[in-house]
Copies of this chain bind each other. A is one copy, B any other.
Amino acid sequence: MTRGTARGGASPTPRSVDVARLAGVSQKTVSRVFNDEQYVSADVRRRVLDAAEELGYRRNNAARALASGRTRSIGVVTLGTALYGPASLLMGVERVVRETGYALRVVNTVEGDPAGVAGAVNSLLDQGVDGIVISEPIDEQAAGDEGALRVDVPVLVLGAPSPVAAPTVLTAGHGVDLAARAATEHLLDLGHATVHHLAGPQAWYAARDRLDGWRAALAAHGRKAPPVVEGDWSAASGYAAGRELAADDDVTAVFAANDDMAIGLIRALTEAGRRVPHDVSVVGFDDVPVAAYVTPPLTTMPQRFDAVARAGLTRLVHAIEHPDAAPLPASEPPVDLIVRASTAPPPSRPGPAG
Contacts and interface: CB of A to CB of B under 8 A. Distances in A.
Interface of A: 3-4, 13, 56, 58-63, 65-66, 69, 71, 73, 78, 80-82, 84, 87-88, 90-91, 94-95, 98, 103-108, 123, 125-128, 150, 152, 234-236, 238-239, 260, 263-264, 267, 270, 289-290, 292-295, 297
A80 B73 contact: no
A59 B293 CA distance: 52
27 contacts: A4-B69, A13-B152, A60-B66, A61-B65, A61-B126, A62-B63, A62-B66, A62-B71, A62-B128, A63-B66, A73-B127, A80-B91, A80-B95, A81-B91, A82-B88, A82-B90, A82-B91, A94-B106, A98-B107, A103-B127, A104-B105, A104-B106, A104-B107, A105-B105, A260-B290, A264-B293, A267-B295
Contacts of A80: 91, 94-95
Given A91-B81, A106-B106, A108-B98, A289 B235 contact: yes
A335 B128 CA distance: 40
Contacts of A290: 235, 260, 263-264, 290, 294
A267 B239 contact: no
Contact of A87 (B60, B87, B236, B270): B87
A270 B295 CA distance: 9
Contacts of A59: 126
A104 B103 CA distance: 11
Contacts of A71: 62
B235 A61 contact: no
Given A62-B62, A106-B106, A126-B61, A263 B94 contact: no
A187 to B, nearest CB: 22
Contacts of A270: 295
A165 to B, nearest CB: 14
A295 to B, nearest CB: 5
Given A127-B61, A270-B295, A290-B235, A91 B66 contact: no
Contacts of A235: 289-290, 292-293
A157 to B, nearest CB: 20
A82 to B, nearest CB: 4
A303 to B, nearest CB: 11
A296 to B, nearest CB: 9
B108 A58 contact: no
A61 B61 CA distance: 11
A123 B4 CA distance: 22
Nearest to A268: B293
A260 B294 CA distance: 10
